[in-house]
Amino acid sequence: MMMRRQFMYPALVVLMAMGLATGGCKSPANSGSSQSSGNDIIVGEYGSLTGPQATFGKSTDNAIQLATDELNANGGIDGRKVKVVTQDDMSQASNAALAVQNLIDQQHAIAILGEVASSCSQAGGRVCQSKGIPMISPSSTNPAVTAIGDDIFRVCFIDPFQAAVVARFAHDSLGATRVAVFTNTDQDYSTGFSKNFIEAFTKMGGTIVIQKSYGGQDTDFRGSLTAIAQSKPQAILIPGYYQDVASIAKQARALGITCPLLGGDGWDSPDLVKIGGTALNGCYFSDHLAIDDPSPAVAKFVASYKAKYGQTPDSLAALGYDSANLLFAAMKSAKSLSSSDIRDAVAATKNFPGITGNITINAQRNADKPAVIIKIVNGQFTKYMAISNPDVPLQQKGS
């Protein structure tokens, strides 16, 4: 009897702990459109709804749902509603592959949308390619993503193009001939961007005065920045993500570096200015879209996104919106709703009027379209110019 009592307490504790573990979990909910019936067309979406890239994944997901709701309100595709089934990959490439597998095998999706991060898109893309399901990535800019095979597309430009655009802008518009490069060596995005920028910029006759690098976990950049300041550049290229860029900018300004800083679409986050403050005024970066673009298509998208979600969309949302609409347009024009016919229709897309520009899918299944240079003025992202072909010198624009 004594023995049994002694065992009771540990057993009770274990039971309570188990109750805690299971009681705390919520059953996962799919954020697809509300009413579903057997007749719906199922499109799969995978994205980083949680994890480090969650802000990117959420805006993309919001915009895809917005596009789907608008399509269904206007009668869907041939009278059938489209249902987007969303799977979270927790910002991990290994989960992305599982998510796509589940979307295709369990949910019977006929086409896939996703991801933002190139590493996740590559993992998911390989699954799509092996199963012959077309996939459109809204915003993965690494060239390797669409190189997987003929089922993988994207609606954004690729990194070499973006880097060449920034080089053309720095050389022609800023009139810079001496540029410093500060790379995050832990990110393929950053090292690839720097490499392509240096190639393009030196070809135009510019000089890279100094190259420095940092690691993903660094928080103090003053050592490298002091050396950069010594080399007296006219501009500094920092192709990192916004949180690094914001603290680099602050520390650079505190060290007395006043020249403009340049970057790519990794800068695009409201947090950039929230963290960096005034240090980023007068800096430039290349992006997919300027939210302040006065064109009616952009204004309409911004207004309906704000009405639905109560916040201003970023360029990732715009690309998510374009990826969904381009897919829906292709489904409408496809001979049938079989995956191979949808793929052929996506591949044949010419001059699709997206809100991030007119999109033509080229032979490498990438989108041909212009990039926008954004200038940060008083903490606001403002459109400075659009560049569609970085190989052609720009008309000099005084700044």
Partner 1 sequence: MNALQILLQQTVNGVQIGSVYALIAVGYTMVYGVLKFINFAHGDVYMVGAYTGFFTVTAIFASKAPAIQGVSALVLAMVACSMLGLFIERLAYRPLRNGIQPSDAPAWSLFWSLYITLFLGGWLVNRSVLPPLLVYCVTFAGSSVVMYLLMRRLFASLSKKLRPSSDRLTALITAIGVSLLLENQGAASFGVTPRAAQIKGVNGGKDITLPTLFSQHIKLSVGVGQIVVLVAALLLTAVLVYTVRFTSVGRSIRAVSLDRDAAALMGIPTDTVIAVTFLIGSALAGAAGMLNHMLTGIPFDSNIGIALGLKAFVAAVLGGIGSIEGAVLGALLMGVAETFTSGSAFSPFKDAVAFVILIVVLLFKPSGLMGRYAPEKV
- Only one residue has tokens 């880097």, namely 163
* Least distance from partner 1 to the Cβ atom of residue 156, Å: 23
Q: Which is nearer to partner 1, 285 or 384 (CB)?
A: 285
CA gap 58, 47 in Å, rounded: 8
- Only one residue has tokens 């810079």, namely 176
Q: Which is nearer to partner 1, 44 or 47 (CB)?
A: 47
* CA-to-CA dists, residue 32 to 38, 81, 317, angstroms: 14, 12, 17
* Least distance from partner 1 to the Cβ atom of residue 222, Å: 4
Q: Which is nearer to partner 1, 111 or 275 (CB)?
A: 275
Q: Which is nearer to partner 1, 214 or 381 (CB)?
A: 214
Q: Which is nearer to partner 1, 23 or 38 (CB)?
A: 23
* Least distance from partner 1 to the Cβ atom of residue 188, Å: 15
C-beta separation of 294 from 265 below 8 A = no
* Least distance from partner 1 to the Cβ atom of residue 247, Å: 5
* Least distance from partner 1 to the Cβ atom of residue 15, Å: 11
304: closest CA among 355, 270, 262?
Answer: 355
Q: Which is nearer to partner 1, 238 or 367 (CB)?
A: 238
- Only one residue has tokens 């509603």, namely 81
* Least distance from partner 1 to the Cβ atom of residue 274, Å: 7
Residues at the interface with partner 1 (CB under 8 A): 6, 9-10, 12-13, 16, 20, 23-24, 50-52, 54-55, 185, 212-215, 217-224, 226-227, 229-230, 243, 246-247, 250-251, 253-256, 271, 274-275, 277-279
* Least distance from partner 1 to the Cβ atom of residue 253, Å: 7
Q: Which is nearer to partner 1, 223 or 353 (CB)?
A: 223
